[in-house]
Amino acid sequence: MQAQTHDGRSLRILTLIDEHSRACLALKVARRINSLDVIEALADAMCLHGIPEHIRFHNGPEMISKALCK
């Protein structure tokens, strides 16, 4: 997700949702979110909630990174 602050600067929001329970597993808000930020959020969520059987991504530049494919 992307939003803007009152002065027009962009704000990115990484949201991890469990589709089964509809629980929010993580929210990361920052001016910029790169692939390493996504990997870190996923790793933290997996430590707390276990490893999921499937992961679904919405397309975004930080999701296309080769770092996520490893």
The domain locations on the chain are 2-69
The contacts of residue 18 (CB under 8 Å, 6+ apart) are 25, 49, 52
pLDDT tens per residue across span 2-54: 788 889 889 989 999 998 899 999 999 999 988 889 899 999 999 999 998 88
Residue 62 has what pLDDT?
Answer: 59
Query: Which among 46, 7, 44 is positioned nearest to 28, based on CA atoms?
Result: 44
Distance in angstroms (rounded) separating the CA atoms of residues 38 and 28:
9
Distance in angstroms (rounded) separating the CA atoms of residues 13 and 31:
9
Stretch 51-62: mean pLDDT, rounded?
A: 76
CB contact at 8 A, 35 and 28: no
State pTM to two decimals: 0.73
Q: Is the pLDDT of residue 68 over 70?
A: no
Strands of 1-70 (E only): list them.
2-4, 10-17, 24-30
Residue 4 has what pLDDT?
Answer: 83
